Amino acid sequence: MQSDQSARMVALDTSTELGSIALVSDGRVLLTREARVSNAHGESLMVLVDAACKEAGFRPRDIDVWACGVGPGSFTGVRVAVSTVKGIAFATGAKVVGVTSLDAVSHGALDAAKVPPEERRSTVVLGTGVTMKGEIFVQAVIDGVLVREPVACKLHAMPDWLLTVAGPAAKFVACGEAAKLVDWTGFTVTLLTDPPHDLPRAEVIAALAATRTPTTVDLLEPLYARLPEISGPKR
């Protein structure tokens, strides 16, 4: 069952330095707000949410669905969004929907890249995001099917990873700012690195959430794609 298009929804994302929020009612975007705040989302997010809801005349208990970006991205940022949504939904009984940041940046990529209909079933759509360790987060979708789940990949290993997704003759549409960091020598690629395909945005997360089945608060979890450094084994 998909989200009710007539529902009131608040979507938010803080998985990158760009924090954003979107308010939707009856399938229509009422307002969006964005702010680049680096790692200060914990201090700014609720201020952003409160101001946006007041402007739209929403109260927390009026919201039917809370949608959020679940990562991968900044560990701290992802936790801020997920914990905020879980806390509000737990208190109000609202439904929740999680959307990955890589789905958000690659939403509508085939249309944006003007891929002809006869090539869409074979074109690989990549969603990417920057880590802080000479890696990028990446996933691959072919014909609407996720064929490689989000993973953190070293930049120097990307050509080999791409060959595991499809052969050298494959055509790629690569989305996200991190796609500019990849050595595409030998591959046929269309880069989509401008808004809205540069970073995940709440308005796109809301659009995707409206097509998905809401889940319970307990099942909404961050997607890190790799362990936080603090969780690794100590030497």
pLDDT of residue 7: 82
pTM: 0.90
pLDDT of residue 46: 82
pLDDT of residue 37: 74
CATH architecture assignment, domain 8-101+199-231:
2-Layer Sandwich (3.30)
pLDDT of residue 3: 55
Which one-letter amino acid corresponds to residue 8? R
Which one-letter amino acid corresponds to residue 70? V
Domain 108-192, CATH homologous superfamily name and number = ATPase, nucleotide binding domain (3.30.420.40)
Q: Are 8-101+199-231 and 108-192 equal in CATH topology?
A: yes
The structural domains of the chain, with segments of one domain joined by +, span 8-101+199-231, 108-192
pLDDT of residue 169: 79
Positions in the chain whose pLDDT score sits under 50? 1, 230-235
Q: What is the CA radius of gyration of the chain?
A: 18
Per DSSP, the residues of 220-233 read -----SS--GGGSP
Tokens 């959430």 correspond to what residue?
209
70: nearest Cα among 57, 85, 81, 54:
81
The answer to whether the beta carbons of residues 200 and 183 sit under 8 Å apart is no
